[in-house]
Structure 1
C-alpha cells in the first residue's frame, strides 16, 4: 500500500470557464483575471472630500457595503440615498474594488448623495438567485435605519428619497429588486422612489437588434447566464433575465415612481437597454420614465473613466434624477 508521500498527486484541471473572465478548477479554486484590486475606504478622499467606510449588513449570509458620504460642511438639508449594485456579470468585481471606489468618489462629489454600495455574494460559489436576495436584504437594511438610527452616517440621508441603481449585471439586479418592491413592503413604511439602470444586462432565447445573426447561444450574455444560474427555470427565458418571457410578471408592477435607463451607442447591450425601456413604456407602469443615450461610448464607460467629459455629463444627469 502506497504511503501518502508516494501517492500520485491528483491533477488539477479546469472544470468550467468563460475565457479571459473566469476559470473554475477541480480543486475548488476560482480565478478571476479581470478583477480590479481591492482598496480600503478613505476618510476623506483628498481630491473629492468624499468619506467612505465599510459596514456589515448581515453575517448569515455575508452581506456588507461601502458607504460614501459627501462633504457636509455648510449643508443644512438631508441628501438622497442611493443603494447601488455593482456590475461584473454576477461573478466578479466588488463594492471594495479600486474601479468602483474611484467612480463613487467622483459620483458622490458631483451628485451630493449618500451611496450604499452593496457587496453581495458572487457566482459560481453562490449561484443566482443569491445575489437578488442579498441586494433586497441590503435595501431593507437601509430602510430599517430610518427608525433605529444604528448607522450614524445615514442620519444625514433623506429616507423619503431612497433610490436603487446598478450597472450591467447590477442593472439586472435593479430590475429584480424593483419588481420585488412592487409586491413586498420595505421596513418602516419606506418607499422606493427611483431606479437607475446603467447599461443593464438582459437576454432571451430570441436575439434582438445587433444580437441578430448566427451564434446568439454562444454570445457572452447567453453564456454568462447559464454559468451563474445553471438551474434557472426556463433557462435564458427566466423572467429574471428576460422580463418579457412567457409568464413573466407585468412590468407595470415595478415598485418605484421614476426610472432612468442609460445606454451607450457602441455597447453590445445597448439594444437590450432600449428594449427594456420600451417594454416598461408599453406596460402601463405609471411612473416617470427616461432614456439617456451617449452615442459614441462603450459599455460602462462612466465606471472605467469617471472623470472623463462624457462620464461627468452622465453623472450630472443622474444628479438631476436624484434631486428632482
Structure 2
C-alpha cells in the first residue's frame, strides 16, 4: 500500500484509506494529588467514542464553586490527544494556577471522521458536563455559569465553532462566558502574506494536507470550517458573543490568521476582543515546552482572564 499523506513522526494515511498514528510521549492520569492537582479519564460517549481527562485543582475550601475550562487539543483535526505529555502538564498546571476545573476533550479524528464531526463531539461534551455535575464528585464544585472554551491550533478553531453552536442553540444548562483561543488554525483559498513567503512552503504544504484530510471531501479551503469569514450568526448573536482573547505567537506563520480572526470578531460587533502576542515563540510552544517561562506567562494570562472578568489581560496589539 502506498502512503498518500504523511506528517512524519505523527501520521501516515495509506491508499486503502487506513491510517497509522504515532503517539509521542504520553502521561497517565493521576487520581492522587500531585503538583497541586488530580486527573482522571472519563468516557463521555462510548458509541462515538468521545472521552475526556478531568483536572481538579487542590483548593483550600471544598465548598468553593470553580469555573470550568473545556479544552480542545490541536493537531490539524487528524492527530493529538488529551494523553500527550505536553497537554497533560500544561492543563494540569493551568488548572491549579487558575483554580478551575479543566475538562480536556478527546474528539474523533479525521480523515476517518471528517468535519463537522469534531465540532459535534465537542459540543456534545458540554451536554455531558451539564448532566454529570450531579453524579461525578470531581464535578460537584463546577460552576456552569462560568464556562470557558479553549484550545490550540485546530482546538482553537473548534472553540470558535462550538461557541457559534452555543449562540445559535442557547442551551439553558451552561453559560459560556469566555473563549481563550491559542494560535487558531484557520485558512482560506486566498493566501496571507506570510503563507506566500518562500520559507513557509513546507508549513503551507503540511497545512493544506491536513485541510484535505479533515474537510468534507470535495470542499475548498473556503468551507465554513476553515474560513471564519463564512460564519453565520445573527447581529444580536455577535453582540452577545462571549468575551474572546486570541493568543498568537510571533514566529508562527499562522500568526496572521489569528490577527485576522480577532479583527473579524471586532468587525462583527463582539464586545470584548483581545489579542496577545508571545514574541519570539513558535506555534503551540506551550505543548512542546510546557514548563517554559513563556508557557508560565500564558497560563498566568489565561488565569487572569478567568478569575476576574473586570480585570482583563492587557493586549500588546490593539484592535
TM over 0.5: yes
Structure 2 counterpart of 1:77, from 49, 64, 69: 64
Distance across 2 between alignment mates of 1:114 and 1:173? 19
Distance across 2 between alignment mates of 1:231 and 1:38? 32
Check the 8 A contact 1:85/1:118 in 2, yes or no.
Answer: yes
Distance across 1 between alignment mates of 2:282 and 2:5? 28
Structure 1 counterpart of 2:205, from 216, 219, 226: 219
What is the root-mean-square deviation in Å for CA atoms of aligned residues? 2.2
Match in the other structure for 2:224: 239
Larger Rg: 1
Check the 8 A contact 2:183/2:284 in 1, yes or no.
Answer: yes
Structure 2 counterpart of 1:305, from 289, 294, 309: 289
Structure 2 unaligned residues grouped into runs of 5+: 309-319
1:42-191 maps to which residues of 2 (within 5 A)?
Answer: 42-46=30-34, 48-74=35-61, 76-145=63-132, 149-188=134-173, 190-191=174-175
Match in the other structure for 1:32: 21
Instruction: Give, in angstroms, the shift of residue 211 of structure 1.
Output: 1.6
**Structure 1 residues 306 and 213: alpha-carbon distance in aligned structure 2, compared to 1, 3 A threshold:** closer
Instruction: Give, in angstroms, the shift of residue 76 of structure 1.
Output: 4.2
Instruction: Give, in angstroms, the shift of residue 74 of structure 1.
Output: 3.8
**Structure 1 residues 217 and 119: alpha-carbon distance in aligned structure 2, compared to 1, 3 A threshold:** closer
Check the 8 A contact 2:53/2:82 in 1, yes or no.
Answer: yes
Structure 1 unaligned residues grouped into runs of 5+: 1-11
Instruction: Give, in angstroms, the shift of residue 75 of structure 1.
Output: 5.1
Find the residue that maps to 2:168 and give its secondary structure.
Answer: coil
Structure 2 residue 40 is the aligned partner of structure 1 residue 13: no
Per-residue CA deviation, residues 112-166 of structure 1 (Å, 9 max, x unaligned), is 11000001011112122211110000012113345xx022211111111011100
Aligned residues: 304
**Structure 1 residues 184 and 154: alpha-carbon distance in aligned structure 2, compared to 1, 3 A threshold:** same
Distance across 2 between alignment mates of 1:183 and 1:217? 34
